[in-house]
Amino acid sequence: MKQVYLDNAATTAIRPKVIERMTKVLQDNYGNASSTHSFGRSSKALLEQCRKNIASYFNVSASEIVFTSGGTEADNLALRSAVRDLGYNEIITSRIEHHAVLHTAEQLQKEYDIKITYVDIDSCGLIKYSHLEELLQSSNKAVVSLMHVNNEVGNILDLERVAVLCKSNNALFHTDTVQSVGHYKIDLQTIPIDFLAASAHKFHGPKGVGFCFIRKESGLKPLIFGGEQERGYRAGTESIHNIVGMDEALKIAYTNLEDEKAYVVGLKDYFIEQIKTHLPKVSFNGNCLDYNFSTYTLVNVCLPIPPKKTAMLQFQLDLKGIACSRGSACQSGSSQQSHVLTEILNDDKLKQPSVRFSFSIYNTKEEIDYVVKTLNEFARS
């Protein structure tokens, strides 16, 4: 059976060079980075070189990069400490954020009786910046948490515009950049973001590792207590091979960014062209057709398929060896409709199946032909 993986927004294949470098570290650098003997010092040197490398891609100090288990932990670290330790009493976010932010905010509201305010979005899911400005002007001590690239429909937030709005209104700005790091360059000297979350497995690195950018003198306190690793921000023995893998994956991603972006843009354009040709009544969720407002890595389509066949679509695609998604991978197994699509689609559109197809450099036009052919056959059967 043909195998086609178009769920790169959920996770990506690890690059062979990343695996090669991680394997060498597992074999040769197994010392605990906190140990003072030569084995430990060797691991510590690797750890700090990776921190320095990663910081350089964002134009920040190495001391502002804290390694975590991934984006979810980084989101929790920033938001929880802002409320618990810095005394911020309001979180301004949107209803289409990743649940790592939404559920964290809800839990903090239960624990600390903070206020959660949701900024308005338009029918395509774009943030209404004028409403955000109104909310900031009326807030007292708020932290804004808005993702750079939406993981389900691909909408892009204007990071600089939001960061400037927050700074001018004395608010903190946290952004989940899990879907954008490795695909877009972000200069944190130019853009006054306070906290940023990223995860290696979204840019062809290993799972279980990510980082949090914490701007100097923010006052954030640790989420996980124990030892003094990560300058006291994150206790626990560092996973050196995973951190090295993340460093290697990010280096390759940014070294080849323009060429790989052009290739993936070509795939997305071809997918849109083919699916519109074979399924002319298809529609697109979010701003998938506009690269100024949507990422080049994914497309979310609403398929012209009768509601009675909707339940079988994912099953049939899987039988054909096609991997895609009807929402965030973190919601897999849930019978509920995507919270993102519920916010932006009308009832009629919600009755039709919407599917997210996300691309990488390992995909081909031949695979897209197979996927579109399969969708067309299912729609007409």
Which runs of E-coded beta strand occur in 287-339? Answer: 298-302, 322-323
Q: Which residue has tokens 């990663």?
A: 54
**Residue 86 burial (CB < 10 Å; 0-12/13-18/19+)?**
middle
Catalytic option among 50, 166, 212, 330 = 330
Largest CA distance in the chain: 67
Token pair recorded at residue 96: 């289409």
- What is the spatial distance between Cα 355 and Cα 34, in angstroms, rounded to a whole number? 46
Chain centroid, CA 23 distance in Å: 26
- Helical spans, DSSP H, in the chain: 16-28, 38-57, 71-84, 99-112, 129-138, 159-168, 240-255, 257-278, 307-319, 339-344, 347-351, 365-380
Chain centroid offset of residue 307 CA: 30
**Is 330 a residue of the active site?**
yes
- To 5 degrees, how large is the angle CA 349–CA 354–CA 358? 145
User: Which of 73, 107, 110, 109 minimizes the C-alpha distance to 90?
Assistant: 109
| CA–CA dist 202, 198 (Å, integer) | 9
Determine contact, residues 307/351, Cβ cutoff 8 Å. Answer: yes
Q: Locate 261 and state its tokens.
A: 């972006």
Q: Rounded CA gap, 92 and 166, in Å?
A: 11
* Contact (Cβ atoms closer than 8 angstroms) between residue 186 and residue 159: yes
Looking at the annotation, which residues are catalytic? 330
